[in-house]
Amino acid sequence: LTKKEKDSAFVWHPFDVMNLEENLFIKKGTGVFLHTQDGRKIIDAISSWWVNIHGHRNSHISKAVSKQLRYLEHVIFAGFTHEPAIRLAENLIRILPGKMDKVFFSDNGSTATEIALKLAIQYWANNKVPKTKIIALKGAYHGDTFGAMSVGERGGFNIPFEPYLFDVEFLDFPENNTEKCILQLDEYCKNGDVAAFIYEPLIQGSAGMRFYSPLLLDKLLKIAQQHQVICIADEVMTGFGRTGKNFASEYCTQKPDIICLSKALTGGYLPLGATVVNNKIFSAFEGKDIHKTFLHGHTYTANPLACAAANESIRILLSKECLNNRERISTKFEELKSALEKLPNLENTRTMGCILAFEVKNSNDTSYFNPLRERLYKSFLEKNILLRPLGNTVYLMPPYVIDNKTIDYIYKAIKEVV
Ligand SMILES: Cc1ncc(COP(=O)(O)O)c(C=O)c1O
């Protein structure tokens, strides 16, 4: 097949720089592997953009989705409800850190964060308190819609849209800038007009898997909460076991008021987002006043098939087998870290739970736009490994069913490629 035949001329792919990327035609997925049309077996070492935690075509999730198909594929979620959504809300409230009380469903990570921001802003409007300022961290990524872009790192992805983004105060990234970051937050909070603080807990994903400590985050949350600032944890990437615990916020003593979820929520089966809030937030929306209502909703909100997949994915996540796998990967990644640290061309090798990352040294700055990205991506693909480096940052975020032999194979490939 020619490239054109493989890749319909009518399809526009995301992040496809100048239409130069050759899109691999995937026919089938099995566990950690993607099978191409032309017979290659590729290791999905990034869980297809961080979603597929239990491997492709997990038999339990497939069964749960087909069972749900026998009853209801979709129904409007305004004025109607259904069992998979009710059960999923219960499941999430049960496993999320802190005391959360209400789940607002949507359909992806950007909508989950967009909704969190709107809820925080309307919370203060409903309470008639003039707090409007939003605080975020430098390097943040919360999605590609306008609100999400506004609280994300400026420049880079968002240059054409900057005139349209609302003002946000950005704190220096906490690790290595601890004192400055704390002082900055303290100063902003003292003005009394800060509505919300949004952050990716412990790891900034798209910024290049940048780690910062729970201790630092706890300090920031404490300051924010002392000033009644609404804390929004964007766990779209870190949720569902990635950092070792079920949610990164579990490492902290201070808990957020709002948690954003998506990505691994359905085990990579169907699009679903959730913005989960505590009663403090919800109480500002109660009552019969239409102007206090949260007038927001997406057509596929709480799609029953997606909810059924999510319920089964959570059941698997909490199973002994999955917990063992996560622990095994975590131990293996610690070993891998020590081995990688001995390689001359790598730096800043780090691991947390089921995530491992490092930078490949070169003369350019570490950034998403580092030109090594393309070479690394192609070299790993030639070895049948899907790793999608963020610039010169290479990271592993595999499905929890990956075995140690496959991790060893990836290690060997890294050694050869770098
Ligand atoms: C922390 C975080 N928030 C939000 C998003 C946006 O999610 P989506 O791509 O589903 O819109 C992402 C995506 O990478 C993310 O990493």
List pLDDT tens digits, range 72-82. Answer: 999 999 999 99
Nearest CA to ligand 1 atom 7: 109
The tokens for 400 are 């929890």
At residue 205, does pLDDT exceed 80?
yes
Distance of CA 412 from the midpoint of ligand 1 (Å):
30
Handedness of CA 316, 320, 321, 325 (dihedral sign): positive
Mutate to test the pocket of ligand 1, among 46, 50, 142 (most ligand atoms within 8 A of CB): 142
- Do 182 and 221 contact (CB within 8 A), yes or no? no
- What is the predicted pLDDT for the residue at 225? 97
Rounded to the nearest angstrom, the distance between the alpha carbon of 98 and the centre of ligand 1 is: 22
The fraction of the chain above a pLDDT of 70, given in percent, is: 97
| Mean pLDDT, range 357-381, rounded to an integer | 91
- Per-residue pLDDT at 20: 54
The pLDDT value given to residue 94: 98
Q: Can you tell me the distance from the alpha carbon of 274 to that of 244, in angstroms, rounded to the nearest whole number?
A: 21
Mean pLDDT of 166-178: 94
Q: How close is the Cα of 367 to the center of ligand 1, in Å?
A: 18
For the segment 90-112, what is each residue's pLDDT rounded down to a tens digit?
Answer: 999 999 999 999 999 999 999 99
DSSP 8-state code for residue 31? B
Q: What is the pLDDT of residue 353?
A: 98
Note the pLDDT of residue 16: 75
Place of tokens 């001359």: 344
Provide mean pLDDT across the span 379-397.
Answer: 96
Residue having the nearest C-alpha atom to atom 13 of ligand 1: 143
Tell me which of 36-45, 208-217, 357-366, 397-406 is least confident.
Answer: 357-366
Q: What angle do the packed helices 320-341 and 404-417 form, to 10 degrees?
A: 20
Quick one: pLDDT band at residue 176, thresholds 50, 70, 90?
A: confident
Ligand 1 centroid–CA 396 distance in Å is 17
Q: Is 9 a residue whose pLDDT tops 80?
A: no
Q: What is the pLDDT of residue 367?
A: 83
Task: Find the 292 Cα to ligand 1 centroid distance in Å.
Answer: 28
Q: How far is the CA of 283 from the centre of ligand 1 (A)?
A: 27
CA distances from 358 to 25, 314, 371, 378, 391 (A): 29, 29, 16, 17, 11
Q: Which residues line ligand 1 (CB under 6 A)?
A: 108-110, 113, 141-143, 200, 205-206, 234, 236-237, 262
Tokens 């130069």, residue?
20
Whole-number pLDDT of residue 363: 86
DSSP output for 187-244: HHHHTT-EEEEEE-SSEESTTTSEE--HHHHHHHHHHHHHTTPEEEEE-TTTTTTTTS
Q: Looking at ligand 1, which atom is closest to the CA of residue 273?
A: 10
Nearest residue by C-alpha to atom 4 in ligand 1: 142
| Percentage of the chain lying above the pLDDT 90 cut | 89
Q: Which of 46, 110, 117 to mutate to test the pocket of ligand 1 (most atoms within 8 A of CB)?
A: 110
What is the CA angle 128-261-306, rounded to 5?
120
pLDDT for the residue 10: 87
Cα(372) to centroid(ligand 1), Å: 23
Task: Compute the distance between CA of residue 139 and CA of residue 36 in angstroms, rounded to an integer.
Answer: 35
What pLDDT does 283 receive?
97
- 320 Cβ contact partners less than 8 Å away, ≥ 6 residues apart: none
Q: Which is more confidently placed, 362 or 93?
A: 93
> What's the confidence (pLDDT) of residue 364?
85
